[in-house]
Amino acid sequence: MEKQIKKYLTALVGLLLSSCSNLQTTIAENGIEVSNNGINKKQSELIFDNTKYFPNNTQLSLALIRNGEIDFIGIERTNDTIKLIENYKNFFEIGSMTKVFTATLLSNFVNDQKLKLDDNIQDYLDFKINSKNDITFKELANHTSGLPRLPSNMWTISNLFNQITGFGENNPYKHYNKEKLKDYLTKDVKLSQEPGIKYEYSNLGSGILGFELASISKSSYESLLQEKIFTKYKMESSTSKRENIQSELVKGLKPNGKTTPNWDVGVLAGAGAILSTVEDLSKFALAQFDKENNELTLTQEPTFKVNDNMQIGLGWHILKGETGRELIFHNGGTGGYTSSMGLDIENKNGIIILSNVSAFNEKMGNIDQLLFELIETLN
């Protein structure tokens, strides 16, 4: 996250662009610079510079939001050239961007007075967590719970072997179920710190949050998403269940460009299970600009200060640039996909990027870098 902030601050100052190559000429010839496509020459150059090193069959699906107006851009790298495609309705795994939706569910519960942010999560469970410390719902949502990134009993000998040999991205969460989570929380859980005093990113914390909200409502995580968020914001092409996908799912890629299996996140779905389209995510982004929407504005309010440049809301990371302008931000990554969303609430600007670039690709940081650079071009 610190690296991402530095990239954002660098983008605020302005970056020198490298000169165009033959590949970039191909982009221009395919019309990516044409103004009625919603993209200018500088944006074309930024897209090229940040995607030219990805393997063939890489796709990016982008939404550029200027003052509440949206332009969709799709690109694909084929035969070592980058061309325009239409993919704004195609599905991608969004990875940890899911955490924003899990936190939005929490906000919904708070607004409906079903619980309070500072309630102890133990009070809503039918089993005892093996910890002397109280953990609140807010601490799950802003990564200050003290919980580790992942549960220790997720790492079987097989999983460890896969991680060491490089196969860990195949489907690491697949066999982690409700029984294993309960076993971990009742026997093996160890906090790295007292809750509420330090930011420490935790997939486990967000997974527990989604699991507990579903338990409280006597429902499923998917049902909550559909009822409380997707239907409300007309996100008809979003789901946490891959079997529900009705249109094209872009195939995830390994760093070498070969296809990789999709992830099954299971009981920790709240940490990263959602699949969506850039069209659907744009609807959710536009809703963030509505200051009368109490559910969404609550998620944007700072709940913990990490440093002078970053605070945490509920799910959202709140970044501050040198000009003082704030950006709410979250990204995500799985074995075959990388995603990024950044919104300038004050100016109703934003960038959303979905891609089939592996989170294990050494250049995956280019997706966030592209977002931070592109958002500067919207001012």
Q: Give me the CATH number covering residue 359.
A: 3.40.710.10
- Distance, in Å, from the CA atom of 66 to the CA atom of 63, rounded to the nearest integer, reads 10
In a domain, 26, yes or no: no
Residue 214: domain span: 2-7+89-305+330-376
In a domain, 41, yes or no: no
Residue 323, in any domain of the structure: no
Q: Decide if 48 is inside a domain.
A: no
Smallest CA-to-CA distance from 135 within 158, 117, 153 is with 117
Distance CA 28, CA 41 (A): 8
CA distance 48 to 46: 5
Total structural domains within the chain: 1
DSSP labels, 99-124 = HHHHHHHHHHHHHTTS--TTSBGGGG
Euclidean distance between CA atoms 100 and 329, whole angstroms? 9
| pLDDT of the chain, 379 residues: tens digit per residue | 444 444 444 443 333 223 233 333 334 333 333 334 568 999 999 999 999 999 999 999 999 999 999 999 999 999 888 999 999 999 999 999 999 999 999 999 999 999 999 999 999 999 999 999 999 999 999 999 999 999 999 875 455 555 444 444 578 898 899 999 999 999 999 999 999 999 999 999 999 999 999 999 999 999 999 999 999 999 999 999 999 997 799 999 999 999 999 999 999 999 999 999 999 999 999 999 999 999 999 999 999 999 999 999 999 999 997 677 899 999 999 999 999 999 999 999 999 999 999 999 999 999 999 999 999 999 7
Residue 222 lies in a domain: yes
Report if residue 42 sits inside a domain.
no
Domain presence at residue 186: yes
In a domain, 165, yes or no: yes
* Per-residue exposure over 225-245, b if at least 16 CB sit within 10 Å of its own CB, e if not: bbebbbebbebebbbbbeeeb
